[in-house]
Amino acid sequence: MRRGYTLIELLVGAALTLLLLGLLLALYRFTVHEWSRLSTRVELQQMAAMALGRMADDARLSAPGGVSLVPTSGSQGAALALVRLEDVGSDGQQLWEERLIVYSWAPSEGKLWRRSRSASGTSKGKGPPLKLARNHPSKLPPPLMRLVASERDDGEVWVASGVVEFAASLAGSAETPAQPLSLRLVLEKPILHSRPERFELSRDVFLRNEP
C-alpha cells in the first residue's frame, strides 16, 4: 500500500521549491540588470562617438586662429565656436566662412547643442554683429564669445544628451594657440536600482594650418 507524504517532507519540498524560485528570480534580475547596463553603455558610447565625430569634422575645416573657446565656469557650461574654410581661390587664397559653428553645453539641460551663427546675428535677427574676415580665420574675444555661447536659436539641434562634462582646449597659449584641439565628453544615464552608467570619450583633432 502506497503511503502519503509526511508533513516534514512537504515542508522540505516547499522550502526547496521556494529556494529554487528565489535563485531563478535572482538570476533573472541579474540578467536584466546586466543587459540594461550593457545596452545603456552601448547607447552612450555611440552617442559620444557621433557627437565628437561631428565636432571633429567641423574642426578639421578650421584653423587654430578660428577657434573660440569658453571654459566651464560655475553653472555656465563650456562652448566651442569654429570658423570653417569655405573655399580656396584660383590664386591660392583661402576664403573663410562668414559664420560660426557653435557647440554649447547647457549643464541644466544636460545637452550639447550645435548651431550655425551668421555674422549678422541669429536666425531671429538677434545678437550682436560679428566681425568675421574672409581672408583669414577669425577668433572672438572672450566676452563676446560668452555672449554668443549663451544665445539660443530655432536652428540649433542637440547632438548629445546626458552630458555631465564637456571640455575643449587648444595646445599653446591663448595668444598663440597651437595644434591639436583636444575634445572631451562625459555622458551619464541613470539605471533603475543601480548607480548611473557613465561613459567618457576624448579625441585630439588636428586642424588646418594657418594661411
pLDDT tens figures, 70-114: 988 767 789 999 999 999 888 888 999 999 999 999 899 999 999
Mean pLDDT, rounded, of the chain: 88
At 16, is the secondary structure helix, strand, or coil? Answer: helix
68-72, 124-128, 200-204: which range is least confident on average?
124-128
Question: Structural domain of residue 47, as residue ranges?
Answer: 35-205
Average pLDDT (15-34) is 78
What is the per-residue pLDDT for 1?
A: 52
d(CA 26, CA 24): 5
Q: Is residue 5 part of a domain?
A: no
Does 56 map to a domain?
yes
Q: How high is the pLDDT of residue 114?
A: 96
What's the structural domain count of the chain?
1
In a domain, 121, yes or no: yes
CA distance 166 to 200: 10
What DSSP assignment string belongs to 99-133?
Answer: EEEEEEEETTTTEEEEEEEETTB-TTS-S------
211 pLDDT more than 70: no
**Dist. CA 86–CA 98, nearest whole Å:** 9
In a domain, 21, yes or no: no
Report yes or no on 180 lying in a domain.
yes
Query: Amino acid identity of 151?
Result: E
More confident residue, 120 or 102: 102
- Own/partner pairs, 171-177, CB within 8 angstroms, 24+ separation: 172/64, 177/64, 177/65, 177/67
Is the pLDDT score of 2 beyond 60? no
Q: Is residue 146 part of a domain?
A: yes
In contact, 208 and 60? CB cutoff 8 Å: yes
CB 60 within 8 A of CB 194: no
Kindly state the cell numbers that stand for 199: 561613459
Do the domain assignments include residue 27? no
Residue 58 belongs to some domain of the structure: yes
Integer-rounded Cα radius of gyration of the chain: 27
